Amino acid sequence: MRRSPSRAERIRQRRQTRPPVTQRAERLFSPSRPRRPQRYEVFVGSFVRTPRRFALPSFSPGRVIHVAWLLSLLLLGLGIVYLLVATPYFRVERVQVQGVQRVSAAEVETVLDVRGRLLFTLAPRELEQTLSRAFPEFAAVQVHVQFPNGLEVQVREREPLIRWEQDGRYTWIDTEGIALRPRGEAAGLIRVRALTPPPPQPAPADPARPPAYLSPQMVEALRQVAAFLPADCQLLYDARYGFGWEDAQGRRVFFGQSAAEMPARMQVYLYLSRFLEQQGIHPAFIDLRYPDAPYYRLEAGDG
């Protein structure tokens, strides 16, 4: 009969079937699995393992140069900011105004009010709009920044064409119908005495452009009437009858306020004046707004 192994024998057999510890160590540290490098710090002859995340930073010469370069750029930027803001080199010291005739350069500079301001904070477009709103006399305005501390303003003034009198006061009007503040004297203006105010004009599309006092059509009609009548005579204006004058016989003659058919109205006036003189008729009022149907009245008055 076969004897069963004892407990000691079973333990010896089990140990023989297990791999030796040396073999397991060889597998753990075999070249097929590279070992992770470990960092150690030495303290008084002892080795202390330090986790990688707590390792002290090391400074290489290249990193030191990089940090020094960044600090140099920072100092350079601070120097530039100080030069631009804290020094007077880039603040406006001179304003050069060109093209003014009746408006003085001092008035333009007072409205701008830019002396001492940083040149980089100025917006030329906004300054142009400010001058256009303050001076209806300017037909065009251009503002240019001149480094390091200058500002150049170029303007083109409107030329007055009409001297418009109303209610004991007068103003100038240019070819576009813009009302201007009279400055000094201007020769050769068309003199108009308004019996009633003109109709209001629509607001301009450009907010920087001043509103017109007369429409361009009215200005053209007035120019044609002034060219037809004797020189240096004072014209009349009525919102209902338009432009006219008071002739040598004391008659008030009106031609309307539109340039269309203006030459035909003037021809009708010549024929009608000759006819009335031949007939011995002396009207006080003649309305030629409609050349096909002229109208005259013997007595003065509104009709």
Render pLDDT for 77-121 as a digit per residue (tens, 0 to 9). Answer: 655 555 555 566 778 888 999 999 999 999 999 999 999 888 888
H-helix or E-strand containing 245?
Answer: strand 242-246
Number of residues that this document lists for the chain: 303
269 in Cβ contact with 286 (< 8 Å): yes
CA–CA separation, 93 and 98 (whole Å): 17
- Output the pLDDT for position 303: 47
- Output the pLDDT for position 61: 65
Geometric angle at alpha carbon 183, from 189 and 108, rounded to 5°: 135
Average pLDDT (40-69) is 57
Written as one letter, the residue type at 6 is: S
Q: What share of the chain is helix, strand, coil (3-state, %, to 5)?
A: 35, 25, 40
Average pLDDT (247-259) is 90
| Topology adopted by domain 92-157 | Ubiquitin-like (UB roll) (3.10.20)
Render pLDDT for 265-280 as a digit per residue (tens, 0 to 9). Answer: 999 999 999 999 999 9
User: How does residue 47 score in pLDDT terms, banded at 50, 70 and 90?
Assistant: very low
Average pLDDT (52-67) is 60
Phi then psi for residue 264, to 5 deg, are -65, -40
Higher pLDDT, 10 or 195: 195
At residue 157, does pLDDT exceed 50? yes
- Output the pLDDT for position 82: 53
CATH of domain 160-297: 3.40.50
At residue 167, does pLDDT exceed 60? yes
Average confidence score pLDDT of the chain: 82
Query: Which of 298, 223, 241, 228 has the alpha carbon at shortest distance from 270?
Result: 228
Domain positions in the chain: 92-157, 160-297
- Output the pLDDT for position 185: 87
* Helices and strands (H and E) in the chain: how many: 7, 14
What is the rounded end-to-end Cα distance, in angstroms, of the chain? 159
- Output the pLDDT for position 49: 54
At residue 291, does pLDDT exceed 50? yes
pTM summary value: 0.68
Average pLDDT (184-188) is 89
Higher pLDDT, 183 or 6: 183
